[in-house]
Structure 1
Amino acid sequence: MKFLIIIPAHNEEKNLPFTLDSLQQQSYKDFTTVIVNDGSTDGTSDVIKNYTENDNRFYSISLEKSAHQPGSKVVAAFKKGLESQNSDDFDVICKFDSDIILSENYLERVKQAFDQNPDYGLVGGLLYVEKNGEWVYEGNSNRHHVRGPMKAYRKKCFQQMGGLRETLGWDNIDAILLKNLGWREVVIPELQVKLIKVKGSDYTIKPADYYGRYFYFLGLNRFLTYIAAAKEAVKIKSPSFLMQIISSYEKCKSQNLELKISKDEQEIINQERWIQFKKKWLKF
């Protein structure tokens, strides 16, 4: 089983070496890594060169600088990396971030999971962040969801779901679509992935605007969006936050912004969200 690992990187000269070192130290060696230098203006290119010149499993491509848009930018860079390789040569396609540290047995455990479970379509570990000198669980409420920084897809599953979408919410869209196709998304909890940089720290978009845009590009209808917005507002005890999210969502709808999912896929996503809402909140 051969892995194709795509790592988009933008101004990651300090973090990228930790990621690439952790790959070189993997117990499972059959992988190819493509680092996509996405318009970096720091020393990222020098870091990449150090690995590509000394390890034939590492390749790189360089892109022009693009605007930082949550979701779409990283997937666009990922796709460029994917296009640089012949996918027929690989069995697993990974999208990894440039600021994570993998345990030495990470790829080996993922391979075993795929080998032993033919219905597994997406596999990953759990994210940990450094807090007060210790690595602690990131705290995301869904321990059964493989987060964006460490996605490993069985190639057949990846191809059937049409790959990744260049949009905000891509790392939830994938999970819903592959489930609808009969594949399973599986988290291996003992596989701890250290996240060096807190996600979203470099976003300029405001939280309420983010949620409104996220719900829109996820393809949610008004009913489910308003429920989801209310949940977020309750978390911080702010009625105005609810209205701000709704305003952002409605602005996207009025502008008829392009979605990266089909009408059928929107229906699938809404059905799944409604099922999850009933299970969690209505208890049936």
Structure 2
Amino acid sequence: MNGLMSDRLRYVLITPARNEQAHIEQTIRSVMSQTVLPLKWVIVSDGSTDMTDDIIKKYLPSHPWLELVRMPERKERHFAGKVMAFNAGYDKVKHLDYDIIGSLDADISFDPEYFSYLLAKFVQYPELGVAGTPFREGESQYDYRFSRKEHVSGACQVFRRECFEEIGGYIPLKEGAIDLTAVVTARMKGWRTETFTEKHCVHHRTMGTAETGIFRALFISGYGDYRMGVHPLWQTCRSMYQMSKKPILLGGSILLIGYLWAL
């Protein structure tokens, strides 16, 4: 029943993209293979200087629900730039009659039932404000033994429209933690946020490497764990586990430092 009802939910997607020629076609094909297609998908090319725009343009004539927005190249590169690009796409969809809005990275792929699955969760849980799935990178998958399912990865964050509008959308923070801030704000306003682990998406580039590197990403992740209310003992276990993965010792140490920095 939920699957049938989820077909009635209309969703829109926004994808900020910068120099994603290596991966964006996989994302495009994944969206176009969905059993439930989006009402609108806006890809915002954020000053791309490679073949990203040309790849997107190939698909425009046969897919009227796909739109390319081109932004000029910015001299200053920071995390707030992603929000600026997202908002340029949001301007194209905010007047539409939709129920769900998703922020989708330009370097992920997923199976044809991916969005149907997430839409069904919004039908099943009326209090659900933000939803997503785990991601895989290469042979590894995010380990939820040492993370809270209340956090939703920024690779694909899907919001109920009322939730997204209530939190004021994404906040343009230059220092990062934009996705985390959206989730924490939603929870503060009483919405349920959850990562559903029955499905996953594949992240074709290591999280956090586009702008500042994996170490900053780990620091922000640790900082975010504190903001999400992770217990110190649990965080210590998670950091020790991370120390066993590459980069050996250093990654887990930075994760713990990020947590302690937020105290």
TM range (shorter): 0.7 to 0.9
Q: How many angstroms does 1:237 deviate by?
A: 7.2
Q: How many aligned residue pairs are there?
A: 234
Q: Does the 8 A contact of 2:208 with 2:216 survive in 1?
A: no
Q: Aligned letter for 2:164?
A: F
Aligned residue runs from structure 1 range 38-49, under 5 A? 38-49=46-57
Q: Aligned letter for 2:92?
A: S
Q: How many angstroms does 1:180 deviate by?
A: 1.4
CA 1:202–1:111: 2 relative to 1, 3 Å: closer
Determine if the alignment matches structure 1 residue 137 to structure 2 residue 133.
Answer: no
Q: Does the 8 A contact of 2:12 with 2:40 survive in 1?
A: yes
Q: How many angstroms does 1:10 deviate by?
A: 0.5
Q: How many angstroms does 1:113 deviate by?
A: 0.9
Q: How many angstroms does 1:86 deviate by?
A: 3.1
- 2 CA distance for matches of 1:86 and 1:60? 16
Give the match for residue 112 of structure 2.
104
Q: Aligned letter for 2:195?
A: V
Where 2:137 maps in the other structure, the secondary structure is strand
Give the match for residue 78 of structure 1.
86
Determine if the alignment matches structure 1 residue 150 to structure 2 residue 159.
Answer: no
User: TM-score, with normalisation over the residues of structure 1?
Assistant: 0.72
Q: Aligned letter for 1:68?
A: R
Q: How many angstroms does 1:192 deviate by?
A: 1.1
Where 1:89 maps in the other structure, the secondary structure is coil
Q: How many angstroms does 1:200 deviate by?
A: 2.4
- Measured on the aligned residues, the alpha-carbon RMSD in Å equals 3.3
Deviating 4+ runs (over 3 angstroms): 138-141, 202-212, 230-238
For residues 228-272 of structure 1, give each alpha carbon's deviation from its aligned partner in whole angstroms, at most 9, with x where no partner exists: xx969985479x979x979xx7xxxxxxxxxxxxxxxxxxxxxxx
Q: Does the 8 A contact of 1:208 with 1:245 survive in 2?
A: no
- 2 CA distance for matches of 1:34 and 1:209? 26
Percentage identity across aligned positions?
A: 24
Give the match for residue 120 of structure 1.
128
Instruction: Flag structure 1 segments of 5+ consecutive residues without an equivalent.
Output: 250-272, 275-284
Give the match for residue 68 of structure 1.
77
- 2 CA distance for matches of 1:113 and 1:20? 23
Q: How many angstroms does 1:209 deviate by?
A: 10
Determine if the alignment matches structure 1 residue 7 to structure 2 residue 15.
Answer: yes
Where 1:175 maps in the other structure, the secondary structure is helix
Give the match for residue 95 of structure 1.
103
Q: Which has more helix, going by share of residues? A: 1
- 2 CA distance for matches of 1:237 and 1:194? 25
Determine if the alignment matches structure 1 residue 183 to structure 2 residue 191.
Answer: yes
User: TM-score, with normalisation over the residues of structure 2?
Assistant: 0.77
- 2 CA distance for matches of 1:128 and 1:181? 30
Where 1:20 maps in the other structure, the secondary structure is helix
CA 1:58–1:209: 2 relative to 1, 3 Å: closer
Q: Does the 8 A contact of 2:131 with 2:152 survive in 1?
A: yes
CA 1:209–1:89: 2 relative to 1, 3 Å: closer
Where 1:83 maps in the other structure, the secondary structure is helix
